Amino acid sequence: MKFFHLSDLHIGKVLNGYSLRENQESVLSRIVSYARQERPDAVVICGDIYDKSAPSGEAYGIFGRFLQELSEIRPQIPVLIIAGNHDSPERLAYASSFLEKHQIHISAFPPKNKDEYLKKIVLEDEYGPVAFYLLPFLKPGYVRQLFEEGAIDGYESAVRGVLRREKIDPSIRNVILSHQFYAGSKDEPKTCESETAMILAGGLDRVDASALDGFDYAALGHLHGAQSCGRKGMRYCGSPCKYSVSEECHRKAVTVVKLGKKGEEAELEFLPLSAPRDVRRVRGTLEEVLSAAGGDVCHDYVSVTITQEDEPYRIRERLEEVYDHLLELRFDNERTRRRLQEEGEEMPLLQPMEAFRRFFEAVRHAPMTGAEERIMEQMIQETKEEEL
C-alpha cells in the first residue's frame, strides 16, 4: 500500500501582508504531477486545509481545483481529509456526502453521540486490507459527553478515550490520521513560529505519542517541520510551503508511505517540493545586503537584518528598490542590543493602541498619521466588541 501523506496546506495564508497564492498553487500543481507519476493508492491530508476558519472564495477555488485534478487521475485515487485546528468543521464538511461519490472522504467532526465513531476507510492491496481511521482535531469539550463524568480531564485523555471506543482489528494494518500536538516520551518535537502560537502554554494540549502505538502508521498534522514523533512510523509530514522565516532551512516534500506486510516497518520516501519564491534571511551591512539581491533572491520573501552601527538614509526605500517582497527590517548592532537590554529590565504593559504605535514607528521610521490612527482605533474597538 502506497499513499501520499500531506498536511497543513494553509490555503489562503498571508505572510506579512503578502499573498502566498502563487507559491501554493505551484506546489499543489506539483503534488498532482507526482500523483500522476507515482499512482499512490491514496492521498491523505491531515488537517489545516485552510489558514482561516472562514476561507475566502479564492482559497475555496484553489483547493477545489486541486481536488478536481486529483479526481481526474485514472485509476481514481481516494483522498482522505481531516479537519485541523484552523479549519471550520462546518465549512469543511460542506458537500462531503457528494464528494464521497468521487472517493473524497472528509472527517470534520469527532464523534458527538455515543452511537457515533470515527470515520473508517478500508482499502485493499496484495497483502489484504488497510484500515484508515480519520481523527479530526479535537478539544476535550468536543467529546466529553461520550464518557462518564470526570473521565476526560485534558487533551490526552480525550484522544485516548476516543481511540479506545474503536474496535481496531490488530490483525490487519491500521493507519490513523490525526491533527494534534503529539510528543514522544524523550524528545519534544521541533516547532517553528508559524504554529507556535497555536500550541498551548504549559503543554496543556500535549498528547503522549504512545496513544497511537496501536497503529502501523500515524499520519500526523499540526507541526510545519517534517519529523518523526517517537518512532519512524509516527510522523509529521510538515507543511508543503514555507509559512514563516523560521522555516527558512526546511526542505519541503511529499511524504510517500509504503506499507508492506503486517508487522513490517513502513518505508518512507520524500518527493521534493519548491515554490517560485523562497523564504530567507539576509544579514549584513546595507551594502552587503543590497549586493546579495542577485538572481532570484530579489524576488523571494526576505527578512533583512542590518548589522552596521549607523542607520543609513532611506534604508527601507533602498531595500525595497531591490527586494520585491521585504518581510521585515531588523537591526542588530551595539546600539540596539543595549536598548533591548535596557528595555528588558522593566517591560511596561502597553495598551493595544500604544503598542501598535511603537511597532509602526519602529518598522516605518515615521509616526502614524491621524487617518491611520483612526483606522487602527476602529479595528481595536471592533475586536473588543467581538470578544465581548
Neighbour count for residue 277 (Cβ, 10 Å): 21
Query: The pTM is what?
Result: 0.84
Q: What are the grid coordinates assigned to 367, written together?
A: 509616526
Residue 8 in grid coordinates: 497543513
- Tabulate helix, strand, coil % of the chain (nearest 5): 35, 25, 40
- Residue 189 confidence (pLDDT): 80
Predicted pLDDT of residue 341: 66
Nearest to 100 by CA among 114, 119, 113: 119
Predicted confidence at residue 120, as pLDDT, reads 97
The Cα–Cα gap between 279 and 99 comes to 35
Element (H, E) at 384: helix 370-387
**And the C-alpha cell for 300?**
523571494
Q: Residue 377's pLDDT is what?
A: 77
pLDDT of residue 322: 94
Q: What is the CA radius of gyration of the chain?
A: 23
Task: Tell whether the torsion through CA atoms of 11, 16, 18 and 24 is positive or negative.
Answer: negative
Question: Do residues 281 and 305 lie in contact, with contact meaning Cβ atoms separated by under 8 Å?
Answer: yes
Residue 273 DSSP label:
-
pLDDT of residue 33: 98
Residue 322 is inside which H or E element, if any? helix 315-322
Q: How far is the C-alpha of 26 from the C-alpha of 275, rounded, in Å?
A: 6
Evaluate whether 282 touches 289 at the Cβ level (below 8 Å).
Answer: yes
Tell me how far CA of residue 22 lies from CA of 32, 47, 59, 205, 274, in angstroms: 16, 21, 12, 33, 12
Chunked into runs of 10 residues, the chain (388 residues) has average pLDDT values of 98 94 98 98 97 95 96 96 95 90 94 95 96 96 92 93 95 97 81 66 80 96 92 94 94 97 96 96 93 90 91 88 93 75 57 80 76 80 57
